[in-house]
Structure 1
């Protein structure tokens, strides 16, 4: 695609977003025509596919039947297991951020007989399983206690089963305590003291906390538990922005970079790449399509999280994170003076890893 056409796509989207939510009949027709044009060739054109996802999200404010009834999304569907495998094994932002955090956590565990890991947003427990696998090489570790906080009960149950299933396969005992709730509703005083070195992990979880006050309170509560390490992975973009047009610009730059990286992933089909893009389309729908009170994906720049950590008397320890030499797919990993390890494509730093204690 030529640079001129790329600019035209962004400019058209930008013009429409400036008008939101006040669309007259002519503008609605222009948006519908633009949507139809983007659908032609979007299979092999990231910018067109990205634009259709923004228009689908914007349709929450337009209510166009021709846009709303379109069922094109189904042709890119793949199984959740296949999608999950691509995210973990191929997508550099997830693959290398978790590799870096897992290595840092296991290094922090070194020399301890007993360790407790509290994982905020444990999901299916995949990251903890990878930590357990890495920890097999540690000398002297006898007990690992896992505290999993997760609002989705089915995922939490699966995490418990798979994590406890590692008992007998590793040279240490594993226990599991599940907390079925969102982290902002957890009474930290009721969490049992399980013993040993205490580590907190929060991978792509804290931005789901809805308010500024709640975010500050959660970090303060974590500090009160005196962890030896608190490791965070967070998108580095301001989707907490209340101004709709500014939020659109932030969102477009963020996901444009993500889609460009997906296009460069090797050894997966174009259909799988589009399925992965649609996975992120759900976030675009949340950020652009929903009213602020209903939104879930309220990402913030890494510097905001670092500010809260420092307010709660955490120290930032960038040097505890070891970066791989090459992430591939046009992604560069580098330390930022503000206190985080950033994953950058072009001019956009998409993701941040933060280590505090």
Structure 2
């Protein structure tokens, strides 16, 4: 049970669901009335308003109001409730964590506010990825584009910048093994990230590489695996240097593919640099993200695949950022509500992943705040500014994505936005997939 310092009484336990409306309707000075906002206690609009008012109270050091709102949130958003309540509970934990770090409300807790993230085995991670199309969408679109880009090439070098530890590579190996002209020699280089971002793996990259090589051998695909310790915090500079030194790409007669799957938004953006960025007149074209893309362009890759979540978590304003996160991260909670029991272990792992994101977006600042998603339009600008031109996905690639989506719930869909593909849930943008060639 979360508790406060002596200046605040402890939060009471969550009330039984059937009596929440009467108890939660109690008013305190400064606490907004949900009826005036066109909401009722417990619905999404009300919970979002309460979170926003709580964030404002914490930022202005209004400890009394913050405590009042947290009391209400604790009673209407139990951690084992429906998807909206579980989502709100994640934000509640994050706000308490932020207040505890800043000292604004002198919040303490007897137990850790954060939910520990599970370290997955290979089998568990494969099952985790297969739960929804969240990752599979990008894998399927990218793999189809890779097969088309390297048709007829005898050596294929894939630089894999992936959040899910090469989980898409076995499917790609399978595709190579049945290529009409025979499989290529496959070189795989991965960034052995020095940071731990969920989902986390309980296996070293060296052991992972050995398993991938053995799998490729079983499919009669010759494969070389190399891991380069590198960090997103410096724009994967060690990886870029390694690729330059080894002459990756056409200089070695190989088709170089750079596959970026939900990892580039961990590279610092312009805002991360703070005052120094402004003082040195650094604009978006010279941010670490744009500099990384220009370095990739210098490698003259055959194709670059860029897949990421279509949301904006970059605002320096806490309330703006909280609203953006709340109105995006309801989607993963809603999706698993459709097919996983509330007590499911897989659901707990999935939601722990989301809670990590929420806490990072809400409770952290500066370099520690690494969940800095940018929408598709911003990445399109960055790619064009770095010297790339977009290419569309073929009808075969689109058909493969649609076939994959048929394996999942009816709420998932796909739409085309110019040359790009966008995964949707109940009509809302979730993940985008783009493909690029050097201009």
TM-score, length-scaled by structure 2: 0.73
Q: Which residue matches 1:80? A: 120
Q: Which residue matches 2:357? A: 283
- Partner residue of 2:300 out of 193, 211, 226: 226
Q: How does 1:83-102 map to 2 (within 5 A)?
A: 84-102=125-143
Residues 121, 205 of structure 1: 8 Å contact kept: yes
- Partner residue of 1:190 out of 239, 242, 245: 245
Taking the aligned partners of 2:294 and 2:335, their CA distance within structure 1 comes to: 35
Taking the aligned partners of 1:303 and 1:241, their CA distance within structure 2 comes to: 16
Per the alignment, in what secondary structure is the counterpart of residue 103 of structure 1? helix
Q: Which residue matches 1:211? A: 269
Q: Which residue matches 2:183? A: 141
Q: Which residue matches 2:96? A: 59
Q: Which residue matches 2:421? A: 341
Residues 44, 270 of structure 1: 8 Å contact kept: no
Residues 423, 430 of structure 2: 8 Å contact kept: yes
Q: Which residue matches 1:161? A: 210
The question of 1:128 aligning with 2:128 is answered no
- C-alpha distance 334-202 of structure 1, shift in aligned 2 (>3 A): same
Shift of 1:49: 1.3
Residues 311, 328 of structure 2: 8 Å contact kept: yes
Taking the aligned partners of 1:21 and 1:266, their CA distance within structure 2 comes to: 36
Cα RMSD of the aligned pairs, angstroms, is 2.8
Taking the aligned partners of 1:29 and 1:266, their CA distance within structure 2 comes to: 33
Q: Which residue matches 1:324? A: 402
Q: Which residue matches 1:239? A: 313
Taking the aligned partners of 1:83 and 1:38, their CA distance within structure 2 comes to: 33
Q: Which residue matches 2:69? A: 31
Offset from partner CA, 1:90-128 (integer Å, 9 cap, x none): 212112221222222223233222111111247532222
- Partner residue of 1:305 out of 361, 364, 379: 379
Query: How many residues align structurally?
Result: 354
- Partner residue of 2:260 out of 202, 225, 230: 202
Q: Where in structure 2 are there 5+ consecutive unaligned residues?
A: 1-16, 22-38, 196-202, 271-286
Taking the aligned partners of 1:346 and 1:17, their CA distance within structure 2 comes to: 29
Shift of 1:48: 1.4
Q: Where in structure 1 are there 5+ consecutive unaligned residues?
A: none
Taking the aligned partners of 1:53 and 1:268, their CA distance within structure 2 comes to: 15
Deviates more, 1:294-303 or 1:347-356: 347-356
Residues 121, 151 of structure 1: 8 Å contact kept: no
Residues 143, 174 of structure 1: 8 Å contact kept: yes
Residues 257, 345 of structure 1: 8 Å contact kept: yes
- C-alpha distance 318-34 of structure 1, shift in aligned 2 (>3 A): farther
**Which one has a bigger Cα radius of gyration?**
2
Residues 149, 181 of structure 1: 8 Å contact kept: yes
Q: Which residue matches 1:173? A: 222
Taking the aligned partners of 1:272 and 1:142, their CA distance within structure 2 comes to: 37
Offset from partner CA, 1:264-301 (integer Å, 9 cap, x none): 23689645324311211101111110013311111100
Taking the aligned partners of 2:169 and 2:376, their CA distance within structure 1 comes to: 23
- C-alpha distance 231-267 of structure 1, shift in aligned 2 (>3 A): farther
